[in-house]
Amino acid sequence: MKSYPKSLFHALLLGLFTILSFCANAQEGPQLNLQRIKISAGMYQIDTQLAMTPTERQIGLMNRPAMPAHEGMLFVFEQPTKQCFWMKNTLLPLTAAFVADDGTIVNLEDMKPQTLEAHCSSKEVRYVLEMNQGWFAKRGIKAGTKLSGAPFKQ
């Protein structure tokens, strides 16, 4: 069996810990490179990031210190079901719009940052749109308002 100098072993060990630390921090940071689409709420355009995979949906808007007013995140699920969201590791106060297949907002829920309180859809839905808290209210958008864009069946 060949032996290597301790300094080489320590250098490899340090490199491994550096890589593992980087990977752990990358998973804890915000998602920044998600696919984007434009959707509309009446005359208001929303630059929407899509959370489509289980991992993207799980991370959502966690660990983001800010989000521009005209942006949101649309969570897309494979089939309609009762959806429930919480705010673990989410730094921003958000409002979740639970949205039917045709784009109709079923209900809105304000959510406080860094809490585990469940906020659920009142009906089965496939889509959930998260926006900065107050965005919907300031524009008079409420349950029954229809969103339009590529994901919604018109």
Structural element, H or E, at residue 7: helix 6-28
Please report, to the nearest 10 degrees, the dihedral formed by the alpha carbons of residues 71, 75, 76, 81 taken in order.
-140
By the 8 A CB rule, do 61 and 51 touch?
no
Structure tokens at 78: 């494979």
- Residue entry with tokens 């699920």: 77
Q: How far is CA 46 from the centre of its chain?
A: 14
Let me know: does 64 contact 30? Beta carbons within 8 Å: yes
Largest interatomic CA distance in the chain: 74
Buried b (16+ CB within 10 A) or exposed e, 97-112: bbbbeebbbbbbbebe
What are residue 81's DSSP bridge partners? Answer: 125
Position 68 scores a pLDDT of 96
User: 124: buried, middle or exposed (CB in 10 Å: 19+, 13-18, 0-12)?
Assistant: middle
pLDDT for 12 equals 46
Return per-residue pLDDT of the chain as tens, 154 residues: 455 555 544 444 444 444 443 344 344 667 778 999 999 999 999 999 999 999 999 999 999 999 999 999 999 999 999 999 999 999 999 999 999 999 999 999 999 999 999 999 999 999 999 999 999 999 999 999 999 999 998 6
Domain boundaries, the chain: 36-148
Q: What share of the chain is helix, strand, coil (3-state, %, to 5)?
A: 20, 35, 45
| Topology classification of domain 36-148 | Jelly Rolls (2.60.120)
